[in-house]
Structure 1
């Protein structure tokens, strides 16, 4: 049985932007069997956050980016090294042969005072860490949309199986009625054969529908990491659909600012620019400070001497003069990579505009499509009822009844598909606008009923 859904888009979009706490009455205590257990979108979403390899890999890359940033920072901080050694020395001369032990202990500290390549490498690592974080957010948003799409594909597969079975039962009843009339010479054999062929075709369709249910559940299980065999929450009955209340320009402005994939490309461009500055740093002088302390009883040419402490402070300047042209070649290569990063950013910016615009316009037409599908279903139901009554009075034949039944169930399929496509498209729109989060999924989940 098809349930009509009417969603208020303006309220829906506001729910996507902010968490919603719906008031619920306390359920009655009762036992729940495995067959009656139901999963909803939020539950599967939370499970997938812990099991989806794409999400886990994105999180790991984001953490790796932070660790690489910390590694680059370490090169800017003081480098402290300690060294100790103990030697056994045998010294032969024409006069004597001596054997003795010597010891050496040293502690050194080196600090960059000015080193442009090291500094720019740290700046590059900061941009790369931000890029990995933004890419992780985009991967999670993409995984959430993919989960929702598979969720509604699974619901559509369940719907298809139920509709095929219901249409088969309805057609079988009409076939039984025609057979009864045929035995009394009140119906033509062509009507009997037509309905029988339709019943047989629906039996084959039922087998295919059952197979599609299993395939859709497997696709859902792939993301969740377990077999999803329980019932899935369906769209509530009390829904009305309206076009987006915000203007397209508002969605585009939001997307260009908040889209995580676009932010990742901007961070990649910043990293490429820092890499160019790092390459140019090969032409700059560097300044470093070195402090060291040493204690040893080993003298010149490994001779034994009294223990002595030495303290050295060194201020070193290194000026690059010529490296065979490798530094300039590296800078040219990095400039080309920076230009490529600019083009990648521009390409994605245009894609974000296109995808946001497409999703927005599809959402507007989707609301109209649902209303049209609802009206088509009401008309098809009335036509089916009228055809069956007309058949009882001999006004129409069995083929007309069969056609009206087919149209009714086609209208049911179209309405359900329009509803699922509309909700999916809302999530896609929010994904490109950079506002898809767990709160968005929870807001969508409010429109599902257990």
Structure 2
């Protein structure tokens, strides 16, 4: 019993002394030397993310196709000319001469339902491309933020595991020394060694996750992300955004880019159907032409003449083998498909908006609960160390309390990350995600080391 009490006193003294040495076993994640934040990576990804660049190119292509269709409604003007050198031989004479022809023509649709509805179709498709581009950029922003905070969580996990492993290894060394002098029980040695081995395995996996998370960021910004990342300040108060769930849902139905893009698709499908039906309608066109020529029959030389022609043409479709009607029926079904896709997107927008709003509410409560849990874990760790020094608890109990403290810290950080991801997702589905949204979140990140190390001091004081 005396040797057991002596062992507990020695280990209690060592753990208490160890807790007073933050440089050898920091209980939090250091924020030193962070040089990259979310806004910086966001700006880089706008220039490097292939999805963003493709979305912009598709929007540009949609605008140009609209302009192409509009051009078909405008007057079509063409000019042509020819120059001939003719040599003519017969039985008695041989002659050579030059002649030329110049012509200018203009044609204009006066009534062409197909051409007009085709323009309306591409106009709606251009709007759809614009909203799809906006939604694609918003989706890329959400993924960047998620990968950013996954990388932070991976850094947290690695540093916390390393800190816990160093603490456990130091106490294992002390117990081994006592065991060599037959002053410690073998069960204490085995328990501590098992914990060290488990932490070593966890550290290997954590290092791998850090590398994987950085590679995921590099995929979006187009370069290796090796600098340390800014983390959330300790003094930030996270709150549920103003407005009820119903108001956010209504905002999403009115402003969601995904929903607006699909509405453009429905309008384009309607225009395509009207275009196909226009194949049954007559068309009316006007043609004007002017010609100057001295070319006669069979390229003979003729007096120079000026000719002016005005044409009013009417084309009435009578029968096309049933292809026009078949096309109308096919596009009618395409219209139904587009309408059902719109309904599916509408339901998705409502679901995602509701999920994001409820997740934000839960994250705010979880942040508060995690702060309380961290304070309780810190107090429990301090009490366990004191109890250990008096022989009330054993070494494994103290190490378990330290492990619980690290877990509480990790849970607090994760709940903060979940809140920010949920907030950005809510803004995305409500159509309010922009660069200013990223800048607002970036203001919550530490701009210097002191702001980010507030959590660390609580467990080292």
CA distance in 1, matches of 2:340, 2:27: 49
* 1:329 correspondence with 2:326: yes
Question: 1:186: Cα distance to partner?
Answer: 4.2
Q: Distance in 2 between matches of 1:400 and 1:447?
A: 37
TM-score of the pair, normalised by structure 2: 0.87
Deviations 1:44-66 (A, max 9, x none): 10111011111111111111111
**1-side partners of 2:238 and 2:286: how far apart?**
70
* Residue 14 of structure 1: aligned partner: none
* 2:39 counterpart of 1:38: no
Q: Distance in 1 between matches of 2:409 and 2:40?
A: 28
Q: Which residue of 1 aligns with 2:12?
A: none
Is 1:374–1:415's contact at 8 Å kept on the other side of the alignment?
yes
Q: Distance in 1 between matches of 2:161 and 2:28?
A: 16
| TM-score, length basis structure 1 | 0.89
Corresponding residue number in structure 2 for 1:381: 378
Tell me, yes or no, if the aligned pair for 2:27 and 2:163 is still in contact at 8 Å: no
**Cα distance in 1 for residues equivalent to 2:189 and 2:381:** 19
Single out whichever of 395-404 and 176-185 deviates more from structure 2: 176-185
Whether contact under 8 Å (1:178, 1:398) holds in the other structure is no
Match of 1:352 in 2: 349
Partner of 2:282: 285
Partner of 1:306: 303
Q: Secondary structure at the match of 1:449?
A: coil
1:23-422 mapped onto 2 (5 Å cutoff): 36=33, 38-91=35-88, 98-183=95-180, 185-422=182-419
Structure 1 residues 227 and 326: alpha-carbon distance in aligned structure 2, compared to 1, 3 A threshold: same
**Deviation sequence 1:194-216 (CA, Å, 0-9, x none):** 11121122122222222211111
Deviations 1:369-418 (A, max 9, x none): 11111212222222222222222211112222232222221112111111
Deviations 1:229-249 (A, max 9, x none): 111111001023333431001
Residue pair 1:78, 1:110 contacting (<8 A) in 2 also: yes
Contact residue 241 and residue 371 of structure 1 kept, 8 A: no
Unaligned runs of 5+ in 1: 5-34
Alpha-carbon offset, residue 221 of structure 1: 1.0
- Partner of 1:332, secondary structure, is helix
Cα distance, 1:401–1:166 mapped onto 2, change above 3 Å: same
Report Cα offsets for 1:157-205 as digits up to 9, x if no partner: 1111110111112222332443354345443211111111211221222
**Local SS of the residue matching 2:158:** helix
Asked if the contact 2:288/2:311 (under 8 Å) is kept, the reply is: yes
Q: Distance in 1 between matches of 2:220 and 2:274?
A: 42
Contact residue 191 and residue 396 of structure 2 kept, 8 A: yes
**Aligned match of 1:446:** 443
Give the whole-Å Cα distance in 1 for the aligned partners of 2:27 and 2:360: 22
2:242, 2:119 → 1: CA distance? 45
167 and 132 in structure 1: CA distance in 2 versus 1, 3 angstrom threshold: same
Give deviations 1:6-57, integer Å, cap 9, x for gaps. Answer: xxxxxxxxxxxxxxxxxxxxxxxxxxxxx93601111110111011111111
Offset of 1:251 from its aligned partner? 0.4
1:344-393 CA deviation, whole Å, 9 max, x = no partner?
00000000001110111111111111111121222222222222222221
Distance, in Å, in 2 between the alignment partners of 1:192 and 1:102 is: 112
Question: Whole-Å Cα distance in 1 between the matches of residues 418 and 144 of structure 2?
Answer: 14
1:7 counterpart residue number: none
Greater mean deviation of Cα atoms: 153-162 or 84-93: 84-93
Q: Counterparts of 1:43 and 1:174 in 2: how far apart (Å)?
A: 42
- Contact in 2 for aligned 1:256/1:433 (Cα 8 Å): yes
CA contact (8 A) 2:28 2:409 kept: no
2:28–2:160 contact (8 Å) kept in structure 1:
no
1:94: Cα distance to partner?
6.8
Q: Quick one: distance in 2 between partners of 1:441 and 1:260?
A: 18
Q: Does 1:425 align with 2:422?
A: yes
SS of the residue corresponding to residue 319 of structure 2 reads: coil
Aligned 8 A contact 1:2 1:416 in 2: no
- 1:385, 1:3 → 2: CA distance? 15
Query: RMSD of aligned C-alpha atoms?
Result: 1.9
CA distance in structure 2 between the partners assigned to 1:108 and 1:283 by the alignment? 28
Is the 1:49–1:55 Cα contact (8 Å) retained in structure 2?
A: yes
Distance 1:160 1:175 in 2: 22
